[in-house]
């Protein structure tokens, strides 16, 4: 018997590719962006180079989740798993950080609604790490995830949360995301053990570096290369790999040198580490490769995200970058999918058991509170919902 799932906020299918590699079968996928849906449809009807037909039996709904009913998604089938990552910009440290006041942030409640109506045995929720310290409507750091966990528990689920880094699971990209797994019986499963560490270890490999990745996957089509202007090239010539041009910092109580970040689009990747988080725009990090300074190409970021080499991406160039850069790395879907599948095959008995929020989350939340108390007067952006990160990497 197949193990079936429903995908919400599906994007270009990154999480779904991983789940199907793990052994799940998609019943339906819901996505509001029509060009994203065209991408999903374009990859349904033929076998890719790895021999798989992804999403072949899935119904693709091009719709606003707020207008979708549970029966539209289940299509009369038994649903074992509901997955989804509501739009993350409201919680990202690189955005305005309006949290639940942003209409996109409010879509978290739609995920909960669908889970409550479909009542799957397990759910998988995904978002940016900024969700951990995101402020609720009362301005309390950590209030969003605390309330979210409470709502999901009230729906009848044991919930376990964690921050996971894709580099720890073999990806050549450092991308940290917040995940919540819920089980309607017993305890939610433990998250899968990492297979890689930054410096390696007794039972794990070392992170896969960008250099190793490029040796296998570097784009050889020079027509896709983007080069810096002469003026920018002169400035970047003095920048070491793993650094970039810094924005002007504003002095703060605990940061005399300023609360600064790297200027958008000026970072040169460190080839000895996995790539930084790829973005949803064409302004990817620069790489010094084969004697040339250029940006990572669309083909390369697709490979960093784990898409099959022949995955079709519809739309304009900017739409393609948006779809690929904003996707969930397939390695997460595969690793978490295997864990969830094993949990379903040995599904526990008894009522769901409540699990405390991780201590590491509490640490992040308390740090954010202290930082704002010390530096709030010197902040120039939206004070009420600011987080402390300068990057979501």
Tokens, residue 282: 């064409």
- Please enumerate in sequence order all residues whose Cβ is within 8 A of that of 359, keeping only pairs 6 or more positions apart, or say none: none
Nearest of 143, 121, 118 to residue 132 by alpha carbon? 143
What whole-number distance in Å separates Cα of residue 184 and Cα of residue 158?
6
What whole-number distance in Å separates Cα of residue 93 and Cα of residue 178?
13
Cβ distance 338 to 346 under 8 Å? Answer: no
Cβ distance 224 to 217 under 8 Å? Answer: no
Q: Is 88 a catalytic residue?
A: yes
Beta bridge partners of 122: 81, 183
- Catalytic one of 30, 37, 88, 196: 88
Nearest of 138, 147, 83, 143 to residue 114 by alpha carbon? 83
Spell out the alpha helix ranges (H) of the chain: 14-22, 34-42, 70-74, 108-118, 143-154, 210-217, 230-236, 298-305, 317-325, 330-345, 359-375
Nearest of 89, 153, 174 to residue 127 by alpha carbon? 89
Decide: helix, strand or coil at residue 196.
strand
What whole-number distance in Å separates Cα of residue 340 and Cα of residue 57?
21
Nearest of 312, 328, 233, 231 to residue 280 by alpha carbon? 328
DSSP class of residue 354? P
DSSP string, 282-333: S-PPEEEETTEEEEPPHHHHHHHHT--TT----S-HHHHHHHHHTSPPHHHH
What whole-number distance in Å separates Cα of residue 89 and Cα of residue 99?
8
Tokens, residue 195: 């297979």
**Catalytic machinery residues:** 88
């Amino acid at each position: 018997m197949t193990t079936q799932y429903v995908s919400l906020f599906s994007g270009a299918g990154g999480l779904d590719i991983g789940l199907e590699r793990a052994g799940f079968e998609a019943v339906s996928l819901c996505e509001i962006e029509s060009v994203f849906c065209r991408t999903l449809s374009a990859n349904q009807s033929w076998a890719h180079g790895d021999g798989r037909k992804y999403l072949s039996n899935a119904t693709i709904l091009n719709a606003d989740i707020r207008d979708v009913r549970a029966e539209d998604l289940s299509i009369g089938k038994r649903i074992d798993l509901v997955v989804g990552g509501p739009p993350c910009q409201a919680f990202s440290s690189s955005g305005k950080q309006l949290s639940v006041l942003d209409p996109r942030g409010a879509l978290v409640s739609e995920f909960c609604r669908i889970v409550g109506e479909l009542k799957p045995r397990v759910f998988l929720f995904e978002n940016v790490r900024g969700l951990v310290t995101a402020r609720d409507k009362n301005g309390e750091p950590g209030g969003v995830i605390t309330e979210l966990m409470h709502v999901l528990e009230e729906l009848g689920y044991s919930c376990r949360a964690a921050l996971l880094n894709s580099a720890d699971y073999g990806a050549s990209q450092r991308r940290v995301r917040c995940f919540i797994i819920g089980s309607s019986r017993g305890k939610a499963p433990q998250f899968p053990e990492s297979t890689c560490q930054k410096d390696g270890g007794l039972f794990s490999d070392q992170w896969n570096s960008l250099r190793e990745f490029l040796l296998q996957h570097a784009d050889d089509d020079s027509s896709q290369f983007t080069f810096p202007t002469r003026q920018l090239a002169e400035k970047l010539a003095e920048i070491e790999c793993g650094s970039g041009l810094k924005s002007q910092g504003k002095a703060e109580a605990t940061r005399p040198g300023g609360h600064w970040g790297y200027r958008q689009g000026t970072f040169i990747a460190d080839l000895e580490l996995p790539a930084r988080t790829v973005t949803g725009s064409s302004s990817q990090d620069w790489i010094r490769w084969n004697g040339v300074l250029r940006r990572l190409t669309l083909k390369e970021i697709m490979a960093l995200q784990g898409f099959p080499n022949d995955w079709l991406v519809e739309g304009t160039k900017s739409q393609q970058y948006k779809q690929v850069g904003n996707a969930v790395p397939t390695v997460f879907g595969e690793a978490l999918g295997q864990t969830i599948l094993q949990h379903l095959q040995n599904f526990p008995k008894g009522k769901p058991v409540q699990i405390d929020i991780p201590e590491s989350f509490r640490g992040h939340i308390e740090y954010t509170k202290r930082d704002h108390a010390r530096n709030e007067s010197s902040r120039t952006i939206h004070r009420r919902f600011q987080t402390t990160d300068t990057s979501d990497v």
